[in-house]
Amino acid sequence: MTRTLRILYIGLFLSLLLGLGGWSLGSFRSFSTAADTSVLNGKWSKAAETHYDEKFPIKRLGTNLWAALDYQLFNEGRPGVVLGREQWLFSDEEFKPVANSAQHLQENWQLIQGVRNHLARQGVQLVLAIIPAKARLYPEFIAGSPPVALQQQLYQQFHQGAADAGIFAPDLLAALTEEKQREAVFLRTDTHWTPHGAEVVAQNLSLAIQQHMPISGEPQRFTTENQPSEAYNGDLTRFLPLDPLFSNLLPAPDQLQQRSTAAQQTTPAAGDGELFSDSQVPVALVGTSYSANPRWNFLGALRQALGSDVLNYAEDGHGPLLPMLKYLQSAGLKDSPPQLVIWEFPERYLPMSSDLSEFDQQWLSQLKTSSDTGESLASANPKPHTPIQATP
């Protein structure tokens, strides 16, 4: 290599380093920390390192490029998503086998029956709302291998188990399957249902409750308004890290039309007190993000369909078991037990393990044992837990 070529090579290399360095430093324009973040204890430097790692251009370039190759050549995304036909995305939890599924199934069933028995001793009836998997409702959009045998049989087994245990669990699959012919009941790029799908479930739950365990008290009226439709990138697109360099490859966003439900204003009679007091609320809702996320308006749809106020104890990101166990220890159940509890429970969680380490293990063991023996849990000493607040 001649001296001129060496100088040119060194110059190009230094230019590349300076260019990448300047590009990387540009990411700090969006860096900020809390006012009390100290430089002395290393928190500031840790925050800067984390921000730089997330915004590092070369890392983003490599991530985007690798994701684009997987997506284009192999029709695959990151672990967590299964790509279907016509830009449909599915959670891989609805397809793959579950380790130690038999053990988890047995333990979760014991907890479910223990929950029913615990509520029954409080004079509260349980309604188990088993939510069918998206892959079960839209099998025509599955592009590759179907769900494993366990997942294929799960919904029917779940319902049969509920029937054998005497737990009231209305069938929601038939209504959703019929309604999907008219309007989408699940989002194409998201794990969750559409507001319309949530409304279908709420109406069918209401009909079943009216037939089997009617709610006492004066009916209340609610009205629902549709919001303008907006483009919405579902949670499953996070497993396709194509943005920003290859964002044109991403599935088209869903069109999400959110809804809002409010009580019709009425003037209470003298001495009636507030329109909704804790003692007057006959229904509690416990569940997952299907119930907790206001985007789907499941709470509002339930209120309107039941003609009753509903207190929401659902939580986002914790599955169905943990919020229910927290509710069993809450002041809401102890001080103002409702007539019935609706437990929204997506079918795919039945064979999955849950982190219940925050609860007293003796209390959990007695809760499981009560599913077989029906013994009282009065002697249990549950681990103190901060009462959760219901969503108004």
pTM for this entry: 0.80
The confidence score (pLDDT) of residue 248 equals 84
Task: Using DSSP bridges, classify how beta strands 310-312 and 259-263 pair: parallel, antiparallel or unpaired.
Answer: unpaired
Q: How many Å apart are CA 40 and CA 45, to the nearest integer?
A: 9
Rg (C-alpha) for the chain, rounded Å, is: 26
104 is catalytic: no
Task: Confirm whether 319 is domain-assigned.
Answer: yes
State the pLDDT at residue 47: 63
Residue 12 domain-assigned (yes or no) = no
Q: What integer pLDDT is reported at residue 389 of this predicted model? A: 47
Quickly count helices (H) and strands (E) in the chain. Answer: 13, 10
| Residue 46 lies inside a defined structural domain of this protein | no
Give the chain's domain count. 1
**Residue 308 in domain:** yes
Residue 206 belongs to domain spanning: 101-235+250-264+278-373
CB 385, CB 329: distance < 8 Å: yes
* Residue 148 placed within a domain: yes
Q: In what order do the strands lie in the sheet with 283-286?
A: 125-131, 340-346, 283-286, 310-312
Nearest to 98 by CA among 153, 161, 163, 171: 153
Catalytically annotated residue among 91, 159, 190, 371: 190
Supply the pLDDT for residue 377. Answer: 32
Would you state the structure tokens that stand for residue 110, as one six-digit string? Answer: 């014991």
| Ranges of residues in the chain whose predicted pLDDT is under 70 | 1, 13, 16-17, 20-68, 72, 266-280, 371-392
Comparing C-alpha atoms, which of 53, 64, 66, 62 is closest to residue 24? 53
Q: Say which of 159, 196, 235, 289 is annotated catalytic.
A: 289
Is 188 within a domain? yes
**Residue 289 annotated among the catalytic residues of the structure:** yes
Residue 94: inside a domain: no
Active-site choice (118, 192, 330, 371): 192
In a domain, 351, yes or no: yes
pLDDT recorded at residue 241: 83
Instruction: For strands 230-232 and 259-263, give the pairing.
Output: unpaired
Give me the pLDDT at residue 59, please.
61
Q: Is the dihedral of CA 318, 324, 326, 332 positive or negative?
A: positive
For residue 271, the model assigns a pLDDT of 41
Q: Examine the residue annotation and report whether 192 is marked as an active-site residue of this protein.
A: yes
